[in-house]
């Protein structure tokens, strides 16, 4: 690959998930041969600026222009600041400028034809977003979270969907059958046989009764030695009452276990996840399961493209039972590799660099 200089302009070094994901994206970009990445923060923030980054707002307090300001010669001070900014720009000589949250368009030169502009949209705005105007010109490439697109900002010519990586790393150990087996023993659920896991804390929308009846269907209709583990819902609350009532009615005592605390190890110790949700839940938890190669049988309520998601018709427990059996029969390790590749940032960086190359080629 020929040399590529990328300038990332972002609001502040804050604690948003998207900022951590930006860090991961930059790290992966810097791994690529010929790619250099520079980071400019618009303002100082709650954390120190990253190593080798610049803070644009520092121009305001530079001693020389600040002293000239005090003499009432603000246009002169402004010209000095502009000259310094242009020097910074020349030092970087960016081929690509990534405007995080589509902020910082004012830093681009009037003649921006040579630069590929990328807008990276995030689910949460920075705390000081009101201090900076949003970009008004469409980007060459727009990065949008997989969960959906923000309603603001001009649409980019090319749209790529970004994946959140938060909390995925802790899930990786559960790709291993031995790890899952240890957790199962600790939770008191069978180490052998098909373990179906579900989670949720709402007695209607999360469908704990549907979960129990799916286990009944697996055992009684399909003849599968299945055990169910539902995590979430404190004892004494409605979820616990519904589950315990349904277990008793279905004569599944000993075949479905309820644990009130939903932890990553309890959620990921199963062979298949079944989430009989009536409404969309936490996508991050789906990703955690997906990266272990676990398939997630669910109803079509998710507006996302997580690998391993296996939707069946809404409320159709017969179809869910069939899907659970089919999912359990597939090779999990292969799926884990595929899911990891899909969820990791590396393939995304490939896509981004391809899009950049096409945009530069079109110049």
Partner 1 sequence: MRLRIAVHALDRTGPPVLAMSFVRWMSRLHPEVDLEVVSLRGGPLIDDVVRLADAMVVLDPDEPWDISDPDRPRHDEARRRLDELPTPDATLLVSVAAGQLLPVMERTGTLVTWVVEQGHDLHWIDEPTGLRERTDTWLAGSASSHAEVSGRLDGPVRLVPEFVDDREPVDARIRRRCRAALDVADDELLVIGAGIATRRKAPDLFMQTCIAARRRRERALFLWIGGQRDELHWPVRDDAKRVGLSRFRTMESVTDLHHWLGAADVFLHTARLDAFPLVCLHSAIAGTPVVAFRGAGGTTEMFAESFVGADYPDLGGLADLVHSMATPSVRDRVSREQSERVRSTYVTDVCAPALLESLIGPQAAAP
Residues that bind partner 1 (CB under 8 A): 204, 213, 216-217, 220-221, 242, 245-246, 249-250, 278, 313-319
Q: What is the DSSP letter of 50?
A: P
CB of 85 to partner 1, least distance (A): 54
CB of 157 to partner 1, least distance (A): 36
Q: In the complex with partner 1, which residue's Cβ is closer, 156 or 208?
A: 208
Helices (H), the chain: 17-31, 63-70, 74-92, 177-187, 208-216, 238-249, 264-267, 283-291, 317-329, 332-343, 345-361
The residue length of the chain stands at: 363
Contacts of residue 165, Cβ cutoff 8 Å, sequence gap at least 6: 20, 21, 24, 343, 344, 345
Strands 194-199 and 226-231: parallel
Q: In the complex with partner 1, which residue's Cβ is closer, 167 or 322?
A: 322
Q: In the complex with partner 1, which residue's Cβ is closer, 81 or 255?
A: 255
**CA dist., res. 363 & res. 358, Å (int):** 9
Q: In the complex with partner 1, which residue's Cβ is closer, 191 or 203?
A: 203
**Of 93, 95, 92, 89, residue with least CA distance to 107:** 89
CB of 344 to partner 1, least distance (A): 34
Q: In the complex with partner 1, which residue's Cβ is closer, 76 or 326?
A: 326
CB of 280 to partner 1, least distance (A): 13
CB of 216 to partner 1, least distance (A): 6
Contacts of residue 138, Cβ cutoff 8 Å, sequence gap at least 6: 154, 155, 156, 157
CB of 213 to partner 1, least distance (A): 5
Q: In the complex with partner 1, which residue's Cβ is closer, 238 or 284?
A: 238
Burial of 134 (0-12, 13-18, 19+ CB in 10 A): middle
């Amino acid at each position: 690959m020929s040399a590529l200089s990328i300038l990332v302009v972002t609001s502040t070094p804050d604690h948003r998930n998207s900022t951590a994901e930006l860090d991961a994206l930059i790290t992966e970009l810097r791994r690529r041969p010929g790619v250099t990445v520079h980071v400019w923060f618009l303002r100082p923030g709650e954390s120190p600026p990253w190593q080798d980054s610049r803070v644009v707002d520092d121009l305001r307090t530079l001693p020389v222009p600040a002293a000239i300001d005090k003499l009432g010669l603000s246009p002169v001070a402004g010209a000095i600041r502009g000259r310094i900014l242009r020097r910074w720009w020349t030092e970087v000589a960016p081929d690509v400028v990534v405007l995080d949250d589509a902020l910082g368009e004012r830093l681009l030169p009037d003649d921006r034809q040579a630069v590929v502009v990328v807008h990276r949209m995030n689910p949460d705005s920075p705390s000081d977003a009101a201090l900076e105007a949003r970009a008004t010109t469409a980007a060459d490439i727009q990065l949008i979270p997989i969960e959906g697109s923000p309603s603001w900002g001009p649409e980019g010519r090319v749209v790529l969907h970004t994946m959140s990586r938060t909390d995925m790393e802790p899930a990786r150990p559960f790709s291993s059958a031995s790890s899952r087996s240890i957790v199962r023993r600790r939770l008191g659920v069978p180490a052998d046989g098909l373990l179906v896991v579900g989670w949720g804390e709402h007695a209607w929308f999360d469908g704990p009764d549907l979960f129990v009846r799916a286990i009944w269907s697996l055992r009684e209709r399909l003849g599968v030695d299945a055990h169910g583990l539902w995590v979430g819902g404190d004892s004494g609350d409605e979820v616990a009452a519904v589950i315990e009532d349904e277990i008793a009615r279905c004569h599944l005592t000993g075949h479905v276990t309820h644990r009130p605390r939903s932890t990553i190890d309890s959620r990921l110790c199963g062979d298949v996840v079944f989430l009989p949700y009536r409404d969309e839940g936490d996508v991050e938890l789906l990703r955690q399961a997906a990266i272990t190669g676990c398939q997630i049988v669910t109803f079509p309520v998710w507006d996302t493209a997580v690998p391993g998601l296996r939707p069946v018709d809404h409320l159709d427990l017969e179809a869910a039972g069939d899907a659970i059996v089919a999912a359990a029969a597939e090779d999990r390790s292969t799926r884990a590799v595929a899911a990891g590749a899909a969820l990791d940032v590396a393939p995304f960086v490939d896509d981004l660099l391809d899009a950049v190359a096409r945009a530069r080629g079109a110049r």
